[in-house]
Every structure is written in C-alpha cells, then in structure tokens.
Amino acid sequence: MRFGIFHILWVILVFASCSREREVPNLVRVSEPGFTGLERCAACHTDKYAEWRQSLHSVAMTVPSDSTIVGDFGNVSHVYGGVRSRMFRRGGAYYMQTEGEDGRAGTYRVDYAIGKRQHQAYLTAFPNGRWQVLPLYHDGATNDWVDAQEGGVVAQSRPLAGEDYYYWTNAGRTWNFHCFDCHASRVQKHYDVPTQTYRTTVGSLSIDCEACHGPSGKHDETRGQVDAPLHLLLLRSLDKERSVEVCAQCHAAKEIVATGYLPGENFYDYFSLVLPDDEAIFYPDGQPRVYLYPAALHLMSACYIQGELTCTTCHDAHGTARDVDLLADRSGVELCETCHGDVAADPVAHGHHRAGSVGNQCVQCHMPYHYVTGENLTDHRIASPAPENTVVNGVPNACNQCHEDKSAQWASAWAKQWYGDYQDKIVARTTAIANGQKGGGVAPLMKLVNDGRESAVWRATAASLLGGWRMRVRCRHWLRRWVIRMRWCG
C-alpha cells in the first residue's frame, strides 16, 4: 500500500512538471543615458507616432498576442524533409512542436515574434540566455508556413542535420548572435566568454524614434521652448552619405566592428560592409545570389553616385500602407519622376514598350525582382539592363526576365539599337570583377580602383580582390620555399 501511494505521488509529480510552464526570463529593457524612449516621443508627436505604428519598424520584434501573431497556430502542421512541425496554442501561449538537434520531437514556446507584414519568425528561449529562431516562419505573401531550410532565410535549400551551423538550435540561428542588431533598438549582446552565456539587454523591442533620430534627452528637456535648439537629428539635415548610413545600420549586409553607433556618425567606424568580392554571395555585376539587405546595392546606383538618391526618396520610415513603406506605388512613375521628369512624361519613348504594359514600368527594367532562395528581392542598384553581360559573363538580366522566349543576344541587339554602346562599360567592370573573383585580372582591377567616377563599393571590391591576389602570391611563394626546404632536408 505504501508503494502504491508513493507510485501515485511520483506519477502526479511527473505530470505536473510536464504541464508546468517553463520559467522564461524576458529580455531586459534598460534605459540608457540621454535616451527617453518611445513613449516620451509619442506624448508630443502623436501624428508621427500613429504613422510609425503602421510601419515595419514598429513590428521589428513583438511580444506574442492576438494582435501581433499572424501565423496560424490553430493546431496546423507543416512537413519538410520528413520532419513534421505542429503549431498550436495552449493556455493563451503559442507553441511550435518540432524536431530538435537530437532528432526527437520537442515542444517550444514562442516567446517573441520578429516581423509581421512580409514574414514573421519566432523566438524561443534556450539555456545560457540564448534566443533561438524557430525553424518555421509565416510567409505573408502565401499566408502559409515555410521551413527556413526551404529557402529565404537559410541559403541552403535542403534539410539540415543537427550538427549543421544553420540548424535551428545552433549558432547560425541564435538571435542574440546574428540578428540582434536589427530587430530591436539599442541592443547590447553582453556575451560572457568564460561561462558562454548571454545577458542581452534592449532599449526597445521595436525600431523606435531614437534609432533613427538619435538620443532625445536634450530635445525633451527643451520641450515647449520655441526658440530652443532642436537637439535631435533629422535625416533631411544630413548629406546623402550620412542619410543612407542611418538606414544601413540595419539594411546592410555587414560585420559589426564596434557597438554604439548613433545616427549621423560615420558608419564605417562601427561596421564593415560586405562587398561583392565573394562569388558565392554576389554575381560579378553586383546582383545578389543570396538573401541580402540592399544598402551596398544602393551605393552602386548612379542615382546615388551622380544624384541625391537616399532611402527616404522612395520610403517613409514612419510607415505607409504600401508595400515596404513606399511613398508611391511601385508600378507607376511617381517614385522616379521627381528626378526623371522628362522620362516620366513619356515613358513609351524612353522604354519602347507600349503604354499600360508591364515593360512600360520603370521598376521592371531598372529595379526588377530577383527570386533568391524563396524570396523576391528588388534590385536596388537601379541599373540599366545589360543583356550583353549575360552573353559575356552569364549573369541574369532584366530584359530576359520578361522575354524568356528570346536570347540574351536578341535583347542585347535591341539595347544597342535603342541606346548605343552604354553596355560596354558595364560589361568591362563585370568582367574585371569576375576574373578577380577567380584570382586573375590584376590590370583591370587596378584600373577600377583608380577610377574616381566609380562607386566606392566597386573600387573597394577591386582593392579587396587585389589584396586576395597578393595573399595568394605570398602563399604560393611560401609554399614553394617550404617544398624546396623539405626536399633539401630530405
């Protein structure tokens, strides 16, 4: 009888422990000196706050609720690579049941959501302060569940083994290792090497006012004083370089060199931009091969180099009801006519496509979509189509994206007939980079480095490729000496 009571108690304890919600520490929110926080800004700037509330910035990271979660957690399943994942709710919380690195199914609570409009990913707490991105995300375009291994987030569109770097429980999917600097404001990683633990803190779960306008403490102190200095950064007060850099703190593929960037400061004191010197990431003309944020492409654009194009020329950081917070519909001419009024007045004469057709839209030729591992990316190089580049270097071109039944030679012939020899310079630069990516072509790269009319991105890329060439020469020289010495010793 005593054994029976003990057995019953043991069963009760086991089931109680299984059903009990695990204790999860929330991300610690801290107030930094000089910063007032979003709520203080909203108290005065109610109209801008209302606009911002509909922006992508406002939902960069959210606490799960009926108003923030868009994925279907109504006990639905998704299968990829033989793994069945199930999304469901219990006790007001959201859960994903899926396979862990040990190959066994586990149930993981959704503790935070990332994004909302285009995609929504989900974080769950792991030991040692890690926040892991769960394997499935909600696709806003299809209103369906997608496994990151299928493409879009993880470049390899294949099932991953538990030991793979990008497997969802590993470092490649740790939020406070990879994603932390863009999906919240004033994030401090606080990684302790001896204990291998994170004590990550955030100023705000959103991309808030001070992320773009800088600390507003002094601005708040002078509130109501009409003649007082603004003590706040406005993007329109910056030159085009610094303005783009404010957005690039998030919207760039980059490595973090130092933390603490403030809007208006030199971007390159804090970040190292990913350059198109790696053929695994970029085509040699600058088009991305993988999911990539667009700042580097923007810096290649003639609209930026020769004009005054910034991110806010086309996008409103406070938010609009349009896709990616555009100021006007992308299918019309409104976004381009501010600078290109003559072309916008008669796009048929410029583009040689009939009025009302897809080919008569500016973006179809100059900012085409590129389907990259599950994503449609807009080409922010805003480049002229160069089908001759397809002929010579095998890179995609905008013309044949629509005219799939025609050859690149056909498209190039029409481009030459309509617009002359503009493609020659584009092809020459692309060929120089393509050869450089393969370890050759020193003279063309030197010419590109010294071309002051070129984008700083292309000049830096050429310099980087030359640096790699020099390193390879040194390695070959060292290896040759080592082989000779070993033969002599032998």
Say what the pLDDT of residue 252 is. 96
Give pLDDT tens digits for 354-368.
999 999 999 999 999
Query: What six digits make up the tokens of 306?
Result: 């020769």
Of 244, 264, 114, give the one whose Cα is nearest residue 254.
244
Give pLDDT tens digits for 105-131.
999 999 999 999 888 999 999 999 999
The secondary element (H helix, E strand) that includes residue 309 is none
Higher pLDDT, 208 or 473: 208
DSSP structure string for 161-216: -TTSTTSTTSGGGBHHHHTTTTSSBS-B--EETTTTEE--EESBSS--HHHHH---
| Spatial distance between the Cα atoms of 76 and 54, rounded to a whole number of angstroms | 28
Residues sharing a CB contact under 8 Å with residue 339, sequence separation 6 or more, in sequence order: 303, 307, 309
| Spatial distance between the Cα atoms of 4 and 481, rounded to a whole number of angstroms | 79
Give pLDDT tens digits for 392-443.
999 999 999 999 999 999 999 999 999 999 999 999 999 999 999 988 889 9
Give pLDDT tens digits for 314-360.
999 999 989 899 999 988 899 999 899 999 999 999 999 999 999 99
Say what the pLDDT of residue 5 is. 46
Global pTM value: 0.87
Backbone angles phi, psi at 121, to 5 degrees: -105, 170
Backbone angles phi, psi at 481, to 5 degrees: -65, -40
pLDDT band at 20 (very low <50, low <70, confident <90, very high): very low
If 0-12 CB within 10 Å is exposed, 13-18 middle and 19+ buried, where does residue 61 land?
Answer: buried
| Spatial distance between the Cα atoms of 111 and 64, rounded to a whole number of angstroms | 7
Give pLDDT tens digits for 145-193.
999 888 655 555 667 888 888 899 999 999 999 888 889 999 999 999 9
| Spatial distance between the Cα atoms of 462 and 448, rounded to a whole number of angstroms | 7
Whether residue 367 contacts residue 384, with contact meaning beta carbons closer than 8 Å, is answered with no
Task: List the beta bridge partners of residue 78.
Answer: 85
Report the phi/psi class of residue 158: left, alpha or beta, with left for phi > 0 and alpha for psi in -120 to 50.
Answer: beta
Residues sharing a CB contact under 8 Å with residue 391, sequence separation 6 or more, in sequence order: 408, 409, 412
Q: Give the type of residue at 333.
A: V
Say what the pLDDT of residue 11 is. 39
| Residue 24 clears pLDDT 70, i.e. is over it | no
How distant is the alpha carbon of residue 381 from its chain centre? 15
Question: Distances in Å between the alpha carbon of 225 and those of 209, 221, 222, 228, 233?
Answer: 21, 9, 6, 5, 17
- For residues 15-42, give the mean pLDDT: 70
